Amino acid sequence: MATDPLHFLKVQRRMPQELSVPVRVLGFSEIYGRFEAPEAADQASRCIDCGNPYCEWKCPVHNYIPNWLKLVQDGRIFDAAELAHETNPLPEVCGRVCPQDRLCEGACTLNDEFGAVTIGSIEKYIVDTAFAQGWRPSVAPATGHRVAVIGAGPAGIACADRLARQGIAVTVYDRYPEIGGLLTFGIPPFKLEKDVIRTRREVLEGMGIRFVLNCEVGRDIAFDQVVANHDAVFLGLGTYRALDGDLPGRDLPGVHQALPFLIANVRQELGLPPLPEAPLPDLKGKVVVVLGGGDTGMDCVRTSIRLGAEEVTCVYRRDEPAMPGSRREVKNARDEGVLFRFNAQPLEILEGPEGVRGVRVVRTAASAGRRGDVRAVDGAESVIEADVVILAFGFRPSPPAWLAAHGIALHADGKVALADPQRFRTTHPKVWAGGDMVRGADLVVTAVYEGREAGDAIAASLRAGVTVAVPAATVAA
């Protein structure tokens, strides 16, 4: 593909310039800069067009990666943006937050010996540049169909994008004051600046998509009404039941759940008033312990550093190779001064005179593999001192009661059970679903994939003129 197939030997893998550690910990700006055109073309030219693009297969949305790398080499940014959007309704977001080391870049033929092509950064470059130069996605003439999307997270946005492009009028409902779901109210700005979501919102609104925000379906508007007013409905409600490990001491002052903590910080960054039930704690000069080693845990430790904590430790019950999050984020956390305590299982949060005084842990041994059994080592207990403890144990499905009341079947664990898993159709004939509420807490790119597939399936079903009779039993009050 490159004019010189051995270009990768002459040009090394390079990420866009990073903010230095002392600068980045002073604020919440994204830590990676952006490629300029020559750099992007140079990095894209490292692709050897290996003929069997494993990167495409490993990418959950199966992006046409070598093809858009070639367009970047040729400076054809609008064509690259068009192609990127064929498979991915949120390329500029995935380019920033996908764990590329486990996905596309991990599968790049050059990865082991020469360093993978910087696929994520180039994907971000394509769309940021195309938007700045005025490119916008094209939209088909109106079909007269109307679809409601509930949840403006990546699954809902991806579904809305696919529908709007096919001429379907889309209304997206969300209980939050801004679109994005966890992209806005979860993932911190140092990974994804909120202007990126604002730009995407402008683009989506320009495509005719209508957002009804600060509107919780089931509270501010009845689900029945949404179903009755539209030809089809897509659900992308996410998963929000935080796990607390039943840890003794979890209700002490100074103990915080990860997501409310991150949301409080984002609200401050966005200039929104704090939520009375979860104000942002003052971490200046405090010793913070974060329990949990996934992406959420990494976001909490790095946010704590930026909020002025004196010492921040991540406690994880397995070893480092078993950590579920992106390697890149663990490295960034370490570079920013976060300490790690591996093979430590929390047993109890200890009370001190002013709230928390520490966490009692026991050393663990785990059998091989990411999900191997973890067992406590007898007599190996210790206390990690802390003023503040943040619980980042993960999330479980949180289906609202009205789902089951409307004949939308759920699995025993609360995830939505699909009647047609290929097309993301639920057991309600007018309702589709995707993202975390279907597969459990996962990734932005997998939510995007499911929203995209559901959007195409809804459009196909409406095109085919399938009129859907809603069985009386599913129309609950």
Q: Which parts of this chain interact with ligand FAD (CB under 6 A)? A: 97-98, 150-156, 173-176, 181-182, 186-187, 191, 216-218, 236-238, 259, 262, 295-296, 299, 400, 435-436, 441-445, 447
- Is residue 77 within 8 Å of residue 126, measured between CB atoms? yes
SS3 of the chain: helix, strand, coil, percent, to 5: 35, 20, 45
Using DSSP bridges, classify how beta strands 241-242 and 395-396 pair: parallel, antiparallel or unpaired: antiparallel
- 338, interface contact from ligand SF4, ligand FAD, none, CB < 5-8 Å by kind: none
Distance, CA of 145 to chain centre: 30
- CA–CA separation, 391 and 476 (whole Å): 37
Provide CB contacts within 8 A for 456, sequence distance 6+.
Answer: 162
With respect to ligand FAD, which residue has the nearer C-beta, 281 or 358?
281
With respect to ligand FAD, which residue has the nearer C-beta, 397 or 407?
397
- Rounded to the nearest whole angstrom, what is the least distance from the CB of residue 104 to ligand FAD in the complex? 12
**Residue 276: count of CB within 10 angstroms of its CB:** 6
- 59, interface contact from ligand SF4, ligand FAD, none, CB < 5-8 Å by kind: ligand SF4
- Rounded to the nearest whole angstrom, what is the least distance from the CB of residue 158 to ligand SF4 in the complex? 11
- 123, interface contact from ligand SF4, ligand FAD, none, CB < 5-8 Å by kind: ligand SF4
- CA–CA separation, 150 and 165 (whole Å): 18
- Burial class of residue 345 (count of CB atoms within 10 Å of its CB; 0-12, 13-18, 19+): buried
- 120, interface contact from ligand SF4, ligand FAD, none, CB < 5-8 Å by kind: ligand SF4
Distance, CA of 89 to chain centre: 14
- Rounded to the nearest whole angstrom, what is the least distance from the CB of residue 175 to ligand FAD in the complex? 4
- 116, interface contact from ligand SF4, ligand FAD, none, CB < 5-8 Å by kind: none
- Strand, coil or helix: 33: coil
- Rounded to the nearest whole angstrom, what is the least distance from the CB of residue 59 to ligand SF4 in the complex? 3
- Rounded to the nearest whole angstrom, what is the least distance from the CB of residue 45 to ligand SF4 in the complex? 17
Residues that bind ligand SF4 (CB under 6 A): 59, 61, 63, 65, 88, 94-95, 98, 100, 103-104, 119-120, 123, 445
With respect to ligand SF4, which residue has the nearer C-beta, 100 or 303?
100
- Angle (nearest 5°) at CA 351 between 346 and 352: 130
- Is residue 119 within 8 Å of residue 104, measured between CB atoms? yes
- 254, interface contact from ligand SF4, ligand FAD, none, CB < 5-8 Å by kind: none
Hey, what are 400's tokens? 């609202």
- CA–CA separation, 281 and 284 (whole Å): 9
- Rounded to the nearest whole angstrom, what is the least distance from the CB of residue 1 to ligand FAD in the complex? 28
With respect to ligand FAD, which residue has the nearer C-beta, 204 or 237?
237
With respect to ligand SF4, which residue has the nearer C-beta, 68 or 223?
68
With respect to ligand FAD, which residue has the nearer C-beta, 291 or 362?
291
Q: Tokens 């003023």 appear where?
A: 387
With respect to ligand SF4, which residue has the nearer C-beta, 257 or 446?
446
Among 36, 8, 17, 229, smallest CA distance to 110 is for 8
- 217, interface contact from ligand FAD, ligand SF4, none, CB < 5-8 Å by kind: ligand FAD
Could you tell me which residues are beta bridge partners of residue 420? 425
- Rounded to the nearest whole angstrom, what is the least distance from the CB of residue 131 to ligand SF4 in the complex? 16
Q: Starting from the edge strand earliest in sequence, which strands make up the sheet with 287-291, in order?
A: 255-257, 388-391, 287-291, 311-315, 339-341
With respect to ligand FAD, which residue has the nearer C-beta, 73 or 257?
257
- Rounded to the nearest whole angstrom, what is the least distance from the CB of residue 335 to ligand SF4 in the complex? 21
